[in-house]
């Protein structure tokens, strides 16, 4: 099946946004055995959008269009599709009713009314998130899906509307010919070296991607059995850095493991400044596990709120295993949690010394049988060091609860 | 000048790499008054690459091609250009000599020899970094620049070879013809409606982008004076939701305003779970302002750590202005800060009631003359509501310090 994507927006071509929706679509197609043939991006100009749509309609079977469905005057995708199809626009009363309902008594603007328009022959794809509906319309041999460019709305529509149609068209689901494995607490080149030593069959392709909290390894090939066998061997090669397959999330694994063990959780953060807490609470339902945290950025907060002995700061410094351990036990006590994790380190760019260079991070876990303290040297810029610190903090809970065996 | 970019590689379409080269080119063009008209990405297949090149040659004056110049068998860009131009390839002895020299005694492979080939009528663009030279060739009216896809090498060639040619073609450098303005605490459609009421000259283009913490409005046109005038009017129309121009960051504005006023800052977070603290500490040097925060996710943390009276929780609930106010004054006291901001709300998807639906967020500021409490109803999914809550929390400090005038 020939599938293309058309992304629309000046911001994409002016370099203000890196377009992630094409990548999102590419990754979604892979597990069902499909591939994206071409990507096109054009500006917010009707003639440009119409030209691209007309060209794509002449060669593709499915085209996903991202962006330009918002309420403002530079949102022209629906108008362009109507021009390309040579049909008028009408207002869909059901879509309009949903927009009005969403405004909950306040008055939608004339601009919002634009979002209720659908080209003749097309149908609105209702959204459960965001105000913009998607639109489906077939032009010649090509089915166009117009989707909002906001990444989470785009993803929602892909799952709800596009994937079911693709599945239906290709008949039953093809056997997976790629597998995604996730690793935490190991670098890209280190996991790469371990996988090279496996000497996998040369017809299998292995690709790597560094994500916020894990390293993603994708293995792909024509033979599903060979892929499955390779996936098993790759997972084993990762030892305890292997966290799971596919959509598995480190944060959800941690929350589930705590839940299963009846443990509540607290955080004490210095260099991550609330990032660990923010990651935990991004998951709905975290409240049955996570009690809260202390962001102890200033040393006075470490001593006065968390009870870190001033002598520890004087003799070992704030970035030390002794300080991390005291922060963790303090957080557990102050926040009344079963388990606490503490992070203190030097995220840079300033603050490094020869003994404690930028990237030095001390981590401690307290309670629940997880008592441990460690120091790691992480590489990258400030954002990367903070993310890696958070990832290590969370992974220590995952590994600790796996080791106690209580989670099984 | 009509400029396009063609990026080549299976990894771009499979979602394994987010293509940053188009963004790099877009950002480079803007200061010289040029714009990228279209972006196309195709797979590592000669027919696909030839088709795209032929189409682009029929409409563009300049086309930058990224990727497929490496030494491996899936690097086909030069072969495709020769097919599109209908010319043979020859080996450039100077390029080959440089490749040999770069190998410094070791033997280049037959694959490296491929990198010395140039289509007839084209010229090699020598590189001081990397082994792959670029290639320049004019096809019809369109000058093609084939550049390596490795971001560092791509950027090097842009600066060394592409920009000088563009400057030469457009004569002297044009004045900037676009301005970016940022707004916080107002929705995309609301700021859009205000700007439409300005009835700006129709030759000016206005574009909108929703970012994590602000709404970006870009105004652009051929006449720099008209753009400057429109920018002034748009900023004024935003009233106090206007935070600044260009690269300005809400978080940095807040930290600078606190610094200027000699105020230290603390946070008390429930539904944002550490996000506000994480945003503040993402900025290097935040430590001279930010003391720390309490993530009070469980109600017991609100009462026991922040000192929220249990009666407040019983009679008003955790999502109430009374609770937010008590959280803020508690955080100020416990963390020893001059100013504290508190956030408590319902981020969803569960937890809403008819009286307090999902998106209800109470915010309070305490100290530094900023004492205030408010309730807002935010729309979006959990992530979006948390981001908007954090944005409102920070913006309250910015607005408060602007109002006191102390920051001037």
**Each residue of A350-377: pLDDT tens digit?**
999 999 999 999 999 999 999 999 999 9
Distance CA B32, CA B34 (A): 6
Nearest to A207 among B16, B25, B188 (CB): B16
Of all residues in chain A, what percent carry a pLDDT higher than 70?
Answer: 97
Report chain B residues whose CB lies below 8 A from the CB of A132.
none
- Domain end marker among B115, B146, B170: B170
Number of H helices, E strands in chain A: 16, 17
Q: Considering only CB atoms, which chain B residues are within 8 Å of A108?
A: 189
CA distance B21 to chain A (A): 9
One domain for residues A188 and A223:
yes
Higher-confidence residue of A35 and B70: namely: A35
- The reply to whether residue A19 touches residue B24, judged by beta carbons under 8 angstroms, is no
**Cα distance between residue A120 and residue A126, in whole Å:** 17
Q: How confident is the model at residue A408 (pLDDT cuts 50, 70, 90)?
A: very low
Check CB contact of B35 with chain A, cutoff 8 Å: yes
B117 and B191 part of one domain = no
Q: How much is the pTM?
A: 0.78
- The pLDDT-based confidence of B408 (bands split at 50, 70, 90) is very low
Q: Per mean pLDDT, which of A183-192, B17-26, B390-399 is the most reliable?
A: B390-399
Rounded to the nearest angstrom, the minimum Cα separation between B372 and chain A is 23
Task: For chain A, positions 264-283, list CB contacts with chain B under 8 A.
Answer: 267, 269, 271-278, 280-282
Return left, alpha or beta for B365; rule: phi > 0 is left, psi -120 to 50 is alpha, else beta.
Answer: beta
Which of B67-83 are b and which e, b meaning 16 or more Cβ less than 10 Å from the residue's Cβ?
bbbbbeeebbbbbbbbb
- B 200-259 residues with CB below 8 A of A? 205-210, 216, 218, 220
- Average pLDDT for A264-288: 97
pLDDT over 80 (residue B175): no
Q: Which of residues 151-180 of B touch A (CB under 8 A)?
A: 178, 180
| Closest-CA distance of chain B to residue A43, Å | 7
Q: Determine contact: B380 vs chain A, CB below 8 A.
A: yes
For residues B102 and A191, the model is more confident at A191
Percent of chain A clearing pLDDT 90 (strictly above): 68
- The chain A residue lying nearest B266, using CA atoms, is A295
Total Cβ atoms within 10 A of residue A39 = 25
Asked if A120 and A199 sit in the same domain, the reply is no
Tens digit of each residue's pLDDT (9 = 90 or more) over A200-250: 998 888 877 778 899 989 888 888 899 999 999 999 999 999 999 988 899
| A284 with B15: Cβ contact below 8 A | no
- Which CATH number does the domain housing residue A119 bear? 3.40.980.10
* Residue A120 sits in the same domain as residue A188: no
Give the pLDDT band of residue A150 (cuts 50, 70, 90).
confident
Domain identity same for A228 and A286: no
Sign of CA dihedral B302, A268, A395, A210: positive
Q: What is the mean pLDDT of chain A?
A: 91
Average pLDDT of A156-181?
82
Using a CB–CB cutoff of 8 Å, tell me whether B74 touches chain A.
no
pLDDT at A176: 62
Q: Which two tokens stand for residue A270?
A: 């210095």
Residue B183, pLDDT score:
97
Contact B376/A at CB under 8 A: no
A350 at the B interface (CB within 8 A)? Answer: yes
Q: What is the pLDDT of chain B when averaged over all its residues?
A: 91
Which residues of chain A lie closer than 8 angstroms to B38, CB-CB?
13, 40-43, 48, 52
ipTM: 0.79
Mean pLDDT along residues A30-37: 84
**CA dist list (Å): B352 to A7, B15, B269:** 35, 36, 18
Q: Cβ contacts (< 8 Å) between A386 and chain B: which residues?
A: 278, 281-282
Q: Which of B135, B170, B205 is the last residue of a domain?
A: B170
Say what percent of chain B tops pLDDT 70: 97
Residues A174-184 have a mean pLDDT of 82
B203 and B154 co-located in one domain: no
Whether B284 sits inside 8 A of A349 (CB atoms) is: yes
- Residue B65 and residue B113 in one domain: yes
Number of domains chain B is built from: 3
Name the more confident of B173 and A290: A290
Contact by Cβ (8 Å): A8, A81: no
Q: Are both A330 and A266 inside the same structural domain? A: yes
Q: Are A119 and A106 a contacting pair, CB within 8 Å?
A: no
Quick one: A66 and A93 in the same domain? yes
What pLDDT digit, counting tens, does each position of B220-261 carry?
A: 888 889 999 999 999 999 999 999 998 889 999 999 999 999
Test B274 with A293 for CB contact under 8 angstroms: yes
Domain termination residue (choose one: A193, A215, A245): A245
Look up the CATH number of the domain holding residue A187: 3.30.70.2860
Whether residues A22 and B12 touch (CB distance < 8 A) is answered with: yes
Are B201 and B268 part of one and the same domain?
no
What are the DSSP calls for A26-37, one per residue?
Answer: HHHHGGGT--EE
Q: Do B30 and A15 touch (CB under 8 A)?
A: yes
Percent of chain B clearing pLDDT 90 (strictly above) = 68
B217: domain range?
Answer: 178-245
Cβ <8 Å between A37 and B42: yes
pLDDT of residue A407: 42
B304–A55 CB contact, under 8 Å: no
Interface probe for B, chosen from A297, A332, A350, A385 (most Cβ of B below 10 Å), is A297
Closest Cα in chain A to B23: A15
Pair B180, B245: CB distance under 8 Å: yes
Q: Are residues A255 and A239 located together in one domain of the fold?
A: no
Worst-scoring range by mean pLDDT, A361-370, B41-50, B123-132? Answer: B123-132
CATH of the domain at A364: 3.90.950.20
Which among B41, B207, B382 has CB closest to A38? Answer: B41
Model confidence over B343-353: pLDDT tens digits?
999 999 999 99
For residue B300, the Cα-to-chain-centroid distance in whole angstroms is: 39
Query: Would an 8 Å CB–CB cutoff place B348 in contact with chain A?
Result: yes
Q: Is the pLDDT of residue A130 over 80?
A: no
Q: Please enumerate in sequence order all residues whose Cβ is within 8 A of that of B278, keeping only pairs 6 or more positions apart, or say none.
A: A272, A273, A274, A275, A277, A278, A386
Once rounded to an integer, what is the mean pLDDT over residues A290-309? 98
**Nearest-CA distance from B301 to chain A in Å?**
6
**Residues of chain B contacting residue A291, judged by C-beta atoms under 8 Å apart:** 297-298, 300-301
Classify B84 in phi/psi space as left (phi over 0), alpha (psi -120 to 50) or beta.
alpha
Q: Is the pLDDT of residue A58 over 70?
A: yes
Does A82 touch chain B if contact means CB atoms closer than 8 Å?
no
* Same domain, yes or no: A294 and A392: yes
More confident residue, B190 or A172: B190
Between B280 and A167, name the one with better pLDDT.
B280
**What is the C-alpha separation between A255 and A283, in angstroms, rounded?**
9
Question: Looking at beta carbons, which residues of chain A come within 8 Å of B17?
Answer: 23, 209
Chain B, nearest residue to A209 by Cα? B16
Are A38 and B11 inside 8 Å of each other by CB? no
């Amino acid at each position: 099946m020939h599938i293309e994507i058309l992304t629309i927006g000046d911001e994409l071509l002016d370099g203000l946004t890196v377009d992630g929706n094409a990548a999102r679509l590419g990754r979604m197609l892979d597990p069902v055995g499909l591939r994206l043939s071409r990507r096109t991006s054009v500006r917010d100009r009707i003639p440009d959008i119409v030209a691209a749509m007309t060209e794509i309609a002449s060669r593709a079977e499915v085209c996903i269009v991202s962006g330009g469905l918002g309420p403002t005057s530079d949102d022209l995708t629906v108008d362009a599709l109507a021009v390309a199809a040579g049909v008028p626009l009408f207002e869909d009363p059901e879509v309009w009713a949903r927009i009005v309902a969403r405004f909950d008594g306040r008055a939608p603007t004339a601009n919002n009314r634009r979002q209720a328009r659908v080209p003749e022959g097309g149908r609105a794809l209702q959204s459960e998130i965001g105000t913009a509906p998607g639109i489906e319309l077939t032009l010649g041999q090509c089915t166009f899906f117009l989707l909002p460019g906001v990444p989470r709305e785009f993803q929602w529509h892909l799952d709800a509307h596009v994937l079911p149609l693709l599945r239906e068209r290709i008949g039953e689901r093809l056997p997976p010919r790629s597998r995604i494995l996730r690793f935490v607490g190991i670098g890209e080149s280190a996991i790469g070296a371990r996988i090279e030593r496996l000497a996998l069959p040369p017809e299998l392709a292995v690709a790597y991607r560094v994500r916020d909290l894990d390293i993603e390894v994708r293995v792909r090939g024509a033979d599903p059995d060979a892929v499955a066998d390779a996936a098993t061997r790759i997972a084993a090669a990762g030892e305890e850095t292997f966290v799971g397959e596919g959509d598995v999330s480190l944060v959800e694994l941690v929350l589930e493991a705590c839940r299963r063990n009846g443990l509540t959780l607290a955080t004490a953060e210095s260099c991550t400044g609330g990032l660990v807490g923010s990651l935990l609470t991004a998951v709905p339902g975290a409240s049955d596990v996570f009690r809260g945290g202390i962001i102890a950025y200033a040393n006075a907060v470490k001593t006065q709120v968390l009870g870190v002995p001033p002598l520890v700061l004087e003799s070992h410094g704030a970035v030390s295993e002794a300080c991390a351990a005291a922060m963790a036990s303090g957080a557990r006590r102050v926040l009344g949690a079963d388990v606490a994790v503490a992070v203190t380190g030097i995220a840079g760019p300033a603050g490094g010394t020869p003994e404690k260079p930028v990237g030095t991070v001390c981590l401690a876990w307290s309670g629940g049988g997880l008592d441990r303290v460690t120091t790691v040297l992480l590489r990258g810029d400030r954002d990367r060091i903070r993310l890696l610190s958070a990832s290590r903090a969370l992974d220590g809970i995952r590994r600790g609860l796996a080791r106690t065996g209580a989670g099984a």
